């Protein structure tokens, strides 16, 4: 049985490594701005080569990642960050101009902090934000071999298109009444 199957059945013990104790309850999702640039650059340059390839499609250099962080802060419609112990552990970027009026979404969580529901916290914040402003659907594109992203987007009730070696997951966010929307602190 695979590790995540044991975890789903509640069979992992606390001493089985970092995946055994989710930190979702102590995580805080915030909107990133220019004051978070150094944190965002640090998160991106701390990615290992497989993570860089999965996120950017190539093994981006530290300089390219720092430039991406600068560009993202300046041009993304919104960026959410998940913090734990006052450190940025993951980020979700939303850009205008996707196919068929959808917003393009990119998500990354630092390798040591995966499988702790941080990606889900980021995606939920993005879904609430999109529903609150009636932003339309959100689209994530990732490798068909990226099983954690498949599970995450399926959890968000995404519809999937497979083209060559990539999956396009579209998440439709229904309009929700403002009184029910969860606000993300600035």
pLDDT of 63 over the 90 cut: yes
Euclidean distance between CA atoms 68 and 46, whole angstroms: 14
Q: What is the pLDDT of residue 28?
A: 92
Tens digit of pLDDT for each residue in 35-47? Answer: 999 999 999 999 9
Euclidean distance between CA atoms 81 and 74, whole angstroms: 15
Q: What is the mean pLDDT of residues 50-72?
A: 91
Range from 59-63, 82-86, 116-120, 134-138 carrying the lowest mean pLDDT: 134-138
Report percent pLDDT > 70 for the chain. Answer: 78
Nearest to 55 by CA among 158, 117, 148, 121: 148
Q: What is the mean pLDDT of residues 13-31?
A: 57
Distance of CA 174 to the CA centre of its chain: 20
Q: What is the mean pLDDT of residues 92-106?
A: 84
Q: What is the pLDDT of residue 173?
A: 80
User: % helix / strand / coil in the chain, to the nearest 5?
Assistant: 45, 25, 35
Euclidean distance between CA atoms 86 and 10, whole angstroms: 29
Sequence-distant (≥ 6) Cβ neighbours of residue 136 within 8 angstroms: 101, 102, 103, 130, 173
pLDDT of 9 over the 80 cut: no
Model confidence at 24, pLDDT cuts 50, 70, 90, reads: low
Q: What is the pLDDT of residue 4?
A: 32
Domains of the chain by start residue, with CATH: 24-180 (3.40.630.30)
Report percent pLDDT > 90 for the chain. Answer: 53
Q: What is the mean pLDDT of residues 147-163?
A: 91
């Amino acid at each position: 049985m695979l590790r995540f199957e044991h975890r789903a059945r509640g069979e992992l013990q606390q001493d089985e490594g970092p995946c055994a104790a989710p930190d979702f309850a102590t995580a805080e999702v915030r909107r990133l701005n220019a004051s978070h640039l150094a944190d965002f650059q640090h998160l991106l340059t701390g990615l290992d080569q497989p993570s860089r390839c999965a996120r950017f499609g190539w093994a981006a250099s530290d300089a390219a990642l720092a430039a991406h962080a600068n560009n993202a802060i300046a041009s993304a419609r919104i960026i959410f960050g998940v913090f734990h112990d006052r450190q940025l552990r993951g980020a979700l970027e939303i850009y205008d101009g996707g196919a068929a009026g959808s917003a393009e979404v990119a998500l990354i969580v630092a390798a040591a902090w995966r499988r702790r529901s941080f990606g889900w916290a980021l995606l939920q914040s993005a879904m609430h934000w999109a529903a609150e402003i009636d932003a339309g659907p959100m689209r994530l594109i990732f490798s068909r071999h990226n099983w954690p992203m498949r599970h995450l987007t399926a959890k968000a009730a995404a519809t999937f298109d497979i083209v060559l070696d990539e999956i396009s997951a579209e998440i439709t966010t229904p309009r929700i009444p403002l009184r029910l929307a969860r606000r993300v602190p600035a």
